[in-house]
Every structure is written in C-alpha cells, then in structure tokens.
Structure 1
Amino acid sequence: MSTSLCSSCRRLLQLSDGYITRARHTVTLLELRGQWRAISFLPNMADKLTSSPKKRKDYREEKILGYTQEQVYNMVADVDNYHSFLPWCQESVYRRSKSVATLAIGFPPLVERYTASVVAEPPHSLKTMSTDGKLFAILENSWYFRSGPDLDSGPTCLVNFRVTFEFRTLLYAQLGFLVFDEVARTMSGAFEAQLGQLHGADHLKARGVRGIEGLRQLLDKSKSSQLRQQGKLMEMD
C-alpha cells in the first residue's frame, strides 16, 4: 500500500532494512480487525529514533475461561495448527521430537520467520523462546494454566499469558511499540475463538461473567444463595 507525497516530501531516511518517510504524511502500518491503522511520522521522528535506546517490552494478560484446563492447554500446544486460525501467522511447524517450532509471522511491513525452543509441561504450562530472528532479538511466549472452580454450568480454567520481546533495530522498536499491545490482544482473542470452534461457546460468557472479578462476584452470589437456602431449611426444622 503506497502513500503519495507532495513536492516537499521527497527525502527518505533509510534505517536498518526499512524506510521511514521524513514528512508530515501518514504511513499505513497494520490491518487490525478488518481496519487499516495508520501512524503519522513527524519530520523530526527519524532523528529521535537514531538516539532512542532499545527497550524490552512485556505484555501480560490473565483471564478465566469456561473450559477445562486440558482443553485450553491442548489448543495452545497445537502449534502445527496456528497458521489456520492466528492472524498474520503464515507458517507453523512443530517438531515435538526436538521440542522446536518454526513460525512465520507477518504484518506488513514487519515480517518475521523464526525458530523457537518449546518447553511443554502438560497440562500446566507451555513456553517458547527465540533468539535467532531478524526482527526480534528476544521473543518469549509463556502460557500457564490452572483449573478453576467447577460451576453448575461447567468447568473453568485460569489462564496467564505473557509475551516478552526486544527488537533488534530502533526502527522496528518504534513501529512495534505503537501497535504490539493491540496485536497481542487480537491474537489472544483468536485463541479464544478457536476454543469456541473446538469445544463450543464459553459458558461463562453465556452467563455474562467477564473476567476473574466477574467470577468472584458469581461465586459470592452463589454462596449467599446457598446460605439463604440453609437458613430456610433451618427455619423449617
């Protein structure tokens, strides 16, 4: 996707193996949820990039899902199938015998193909780590799974998800920091959607439960109801 430039916008600054337009115009960066997100680069932004330090960034998410621990773990551990449901995943191969996965992730203009070591402890955790990519100096993904309380509507699973990454170049860091949180949220949502495809709708969402705090409120309400029922039984005695 290209951007037309006026006569005052002819100077290009090359950083690493990508380009930044040194102008007031907008450069299209990423498609998220069916819409193109654009980022504007100010005339002095390239100068700031050359002096900015590299930074490591973390994204963390904790949620409660209406599935069993085994169901959630098995879906996340099915790395071979990532390309069929994860946005921007173009390739996914998991060699279990060597505990190594090869993935190609692309969201123009950033495309990365990398090999990651995989440490799996079913059904409790799955960790991947890569240090050989061109885009990321470090890329770590960690998933932790724990069974939650069983409700009358079904089982629950507590999920902790963390991504830690550090870009190799200042250009990639500038672009990535602007969009990576939303990219991570979008991909996390894709995992949930895949669970729905495999095992049906999340019964917690069907009950209007949103997040861990919502589950606590539901349990407190259920406990209060049980205590009231016990009180009525005692009155009848």
Structure 2
Amino acid sequence: MTFVQLIDCKTSRFDELNQLMDRWVELTQGKRTATHDLVGRDRSDASHFVEIVEFPSYEEAMRNSNLPETDRIFQEMVALCDEMPTFTDLDVVRDEQLYAANVRRLFDVMATRGDLPPLDGLMAEDYHDHDPSNEQDNIGMDAIRREMEMWRGGFDFAFTVEDQISQGDTVCTRWTWRGTHKGDFMGIAPTGKQVMMTGTSIFRCREDGKIAEGWWQYDRLGLMAQLGALDALER
C-alpha cells in the first residue's frame, strides 16, 4: 500500500532548506526509497511549508528514515526551522489520476460497438491529433471522428492498457490493440483475420480534463503485414 508522509514546518530560511533537500537527494542517490517529493508554501503564511513525500509502502518509508544520510539531513533541517516540524503518516486509500482516467475512457469509447458516442465530454472541440501515418494532422472534433470511424468501419477492436504514466497535464499510455478485420480498410477488403498491434500514445489535457492534443506511435506496418497487404511487395 502506498504510504505518504506530510512534514509540516515553519522557517524564514527556505532557500537554505531547499539547498539542504538538494543535498539529501544527492547523498541518498541509489539508496532512498522515496518515489515522489512535493513542497508547498502556505498562501496565507509565507513561512509555513508542507512537504509531501511518497513511498511504495510504510516499510520502505522506514528503510528511508533509517538511512544515516536521512538522519543527518533531518537534524540540519530542524536547525533551519523556527519550531519543531510535525509529521503525519498516511496510508493512501484512494489515488485517482483524473487525466489518466479520461484517457482510459477515450480508449474504451473508441472501441464501443454500434454508433460512436459523443466525444465532447472527453475531447476539446479544437483537438489536435498527430499521427505519422497520416499526411496531415487531424484538427477538430469532426476530423478525429472521421479518423475513428475509419478504424471502426474496418475492425471490431478493443484496447488493453498495459502501462500508463501521468505527469502534470500529460498522460502517456502503452497499449495493445486487438481486432477482427470486418470491413474495408485502406483499400483492403475484409479478411476476417484476427490481428493485433502495440503502440504508445501521449495526450495533453486541458485544465478541465478534456483531451486537447495527442501523439500516436504504433506498428501500422506490422498490422498491414498481418492483413496480407505486403505479400505482393515480397514476391
């Protein structure tokens, strides 16, 4: 279970404290178990700071605390604070990356059977799509719907999300796509073949969570080979 520690402190020497944290990062390279560190300043009190440190588990946090470098830096940290820092230990019981959740919904919606559902709740009206297999980028809701309908007309398919990383307004997804070739696709008559390909997509989201821009990389050449489109070239 992910574990988070909140360190609450007051200091008028934040620049020195910040340098101290940089030194801790350097000294614990290859030893520390912390995975994410965030520091926030209180808008109503410029001397009040809260540090949020994330660990894979409570046990890993204790390993990190027992490092001699951590203990030494902590003692120096206390000397820079106006009063003794306080600690709050939290087991994370819910961790929802909302931008990532919207991207997962988009993959599900693209694969929906029947009519393509509305996309305005997921994508910006001026969405910009970058796909190296297209001569021009698709820009706007109508253009991306036409692109999706081309794929949906050629295949019954589904995505499996293999990995997903979210940072700031950007979500990177590694996926596997599996489909049945049921209709014309790029001039290839339906073959009924079961096909698959892997790919990675990066999406940028707006402040409201709607997807504003996307970049696709996938094995389209491998897909065409599975459909037999390269056989004539190999003869």
Question: TM-score w.r.t. structure 1 length?
Answer: 0.25
Bigger radius of gyration? 2
Question: TM-score w.r.t. structure 2 length?
Answer: 0.26
